[in-house]
Chains A and B, each alone.
Chain A
Amino acid sequence: DIVMTQSPLSLPVTPGEPASISCRSSQSLLHSNGYNFLHWYLQKPGQSPQLLIYLGSNRASGVPDRFSGSGSGTDFTLEISRVEAEDVGVYYCMHALQVPVTFGQGTRLEIK
């Protein structure tokens, strides 16, 4: 199975400041079709996870443009340009290159 490793695991951020989360995979997620099968999810307190970014860098419908994703192969980054209070929760990366899909451990973002 592909192992997904996130850092940091805890991220305290002042509102209005940027935030960055790293995700590394144990093997390349770049498919021969040119897509990176890496997605980002946010689980807000008491809710199910929701899709934020798909295929490494595409924002899901309704996701604010302060969220962006980048990276290729085995190294990926989720960035929030200016953190807002509503961004608190746990962020997960997930690969979808093969079965089984696997998730990172999660990064808990909290407001300072």
Chain B
Amino acid sequence: QVQLQQSGPGLVKPSQTLSLTCAISGDSVSSNSVTWNWVRQSPSRGLEWLGSTYYWSKWYNDYAESVKGRITINPDTSRNHFSLQLNSVTPDDTAMYYCVRYQHSPRYFDYWGQGTLVTVSS
């Protein structure tokens, strides 16, 4: 059974960096049949995919255009986890953030973390 355990601060100041980590159990961050994703949810944006990291002979990333240039998703093979960094945050980045596993076939999100509510406020 795959489990995703999120950690990270729930309050970030404007212009600073949001950092979250997702610890994986029951699978490997280096697995080549899945991708590891961050999805956020807010009343204004609904459910929004932010980006992914995955290993297919080498490491790749995909990022949503809405956050490209501010986002980094990194795998950590030694700890079997992956992380999200979102720079220069504004109150519009306030949301529930989820880490999620995506099965490449048949292309769906199957395991979700418990969610972390991140508020951007001074």
Interface SS of B by simple majority = strand
B68 to chain A, nearest CB (A): 11
Q: Which of B98, B108, B112 contacts A54, CB < 8 Å?
A: B108
Per-residue interface assignment for chain A, residues 87 to 105, with 1 indicating a CB less than 8 Å from any chain B CB and 0 otherwise: 0000010101001111111
Which of B109, B110, B115 counts the most chain A CB atoms within 10 A?
A: B109
Interface size class of B (residues with CB under 8 A): 10 to 19
Restricting to B17-52, which residues have a CB under 8 Å from any CB of A?
Answer: 46-49
Interface SS of A by simple majority = loop
For residue B62, which residues in chain A have a CB less than 8 angstroms away from its CB? 99-100
Q: Which of B98, B107, B110, B113 contacts A37, CB < 8 Å?
A: B107
How many A residues touch B, CB cutoff 8 Å? 21
For residue B98, which residues in chain A have a CB less than 8 angstroms away from its CB? 48-49
Which residues on B are within 8 Å of A, measured CB to CB?
46-49, 62, 64-65, 98, 106-110, 112-115
